[in-house]
Structure 1
Amino acid sequence: MKSKAKITKGLIIASAAILVFFIIGSISKKQNGKVINAISIHVEDQYDNFFIDENDILKLINDGHTNSIVGVPVNDLELKEIETNIKSNPFVRTAEVYRDLKGNLMVKVKPRKPMARILINNGPDAYIDSGGEIIPTSDEFTARVVLISGTYTKKLMTEKEADQEVKRNLTEMLKAIDGDKFLRAQVAQLDMDNEGRITIYPQIGKQYIEFGRPVNVEEKFKKLKILFKRILPERGWNTFSRVNIEYNNQIVCE
Structure 2
Amino acid sequence: MNRSLKIALSSIAWAAIAAYLVWAGGLGERKRAAVSVHEMRISVRDSAEIGIIRPADVRRWINAAGLDPVGKHIDSIDLMAITQTVGSHDFVRTAKTSVGLDGVLTVTMDQRRPVVRIMTDNGYDFYYTADGYIVPAGRHSAHYVPVVTGHFGLPFANGFSGQLGAGMEETEKNVK
User: What is the TM-score with the length of structure 1 in the denominator?
Assistant: 0.54
Q: Hey, what does 2:173 align to over in structure 1?
A: none
Q: What's the offset of the Cα at 1:141? A: 2.8
CA deviation vs aligned residue, 1:176-227 (integer Å, no higher than 9, x gap): xxxxxxxxxxxxxxxxxxxxxxxxxxxxxxxxxxxxxxxxxxxxxxxxxxxx
Relative to structure 1, the CA distance from residue 123 to residue 73 in structure 2 (aligned partners, 3 Å threshold; closer, same or farther) is same
Contact kept, 8 Å, 2:35 with 2:101, in 1: the verdict is: no
Q: Hey, what does 1:73 align to over in structure 2?
A: 73
Q: What's the offset of the Cα at 1:148? A: 4.4
In structure 2, how many angstroms separate the alpha carbons of the residues matched to 1:41 and 1:53? 9
Relative to structure 1, the CA distance from residue 114 to residue 14 in structure 2 (aligned partners, 3 Å threshold; closer, same or farther) is farther
Contact kept, 8 Å, 2:128 with 2:134, in 1: the verdict is: yes
Q: Hey, what does 2:17 align to over in structure 1?
A: 16
Contact kept, 8 Å, 2:79 with 2:97, in 1: the verdict is: yes
SS at match of 2:154: helix
Relative to structure 1, the CA distance from residue 154 to residue 70 in structure 2 (aligned partners, 3 Å threshold; closer, same or farther) is same
Q: Hey, what does 2:34 align to over in structure 1?
A: 33
Contact kept, 8 Å, 1:40 with 1:105, in 2: the verdict is: yes
SS at match of 1:134: strand
Are 1:96 and 2:92 counterparts? no
SS at match of 2:165: coil
Rg larger in 1 or in 2? 1
Q: Cα RMSD between the aligned structures?
A: 2.9
Q: Give the partner amino acid of 1:126.
A: F
| Structure 2 portions without partners, runs of 5+ | 170-176
Q: What's the offset of the Cα at 1:151? A: 7.7
In structure 1, how many angstroms separate the alpha carbons of the residues matched to 2:152 and 2:22? 60
| Structure 1 portions without partners, runs of 5+ | 164-254
Aligned length, in residue pairs: 162
Q: What's the offset of the Cα at 1:7? A: 5.3
Relative to structure 1, the CA distance from residue 86 to residue 14 in structure 2 (aligned partners, 3 Å threshold; closer, same or farther) is farther
| Mapping 1:75-154, distance limit 5 Å | 75-148=75-148, 154=154
| Mapping 1:1-254, distance limit 5 Å | 1=2, 5=6, 8-65=9-66, 68-148=68-148, 154-155=154-155, 159=165
In structure 2, how many angstroms separate the alpha carbons of the residues matched to 1:150 and 1:2? 88
In structure 2, how many angstroms separate the alpha carbons of the residues matched to 1:70 and 1:155? 44
SS at match of 1:155: coil
Q: What's the offset of the Cα at 1:9? A: 4.0
Relative to structure 1, the CA distance from residue 116 to residue 6 in structure 2 (aligned partners, 3 Å threshold; closer, same or farther) is farther
Relative to structure 1, the CA distance from residue 113 to residue 17 in structure 2 (aligned partners, 3 Å threshold; closer, same or farther) is farther
SS at match of 1:106: strand
In structure 2, how many angstroms separate the alpha carbons of the residues matched to 1:83 and 1:9? 47
Q: What's the offset of the Cα at 1:34? A: 1.7
In structure 2, how many angstroms separate the alpha carbons of the residues matched to 1:149 and 1:2? 86
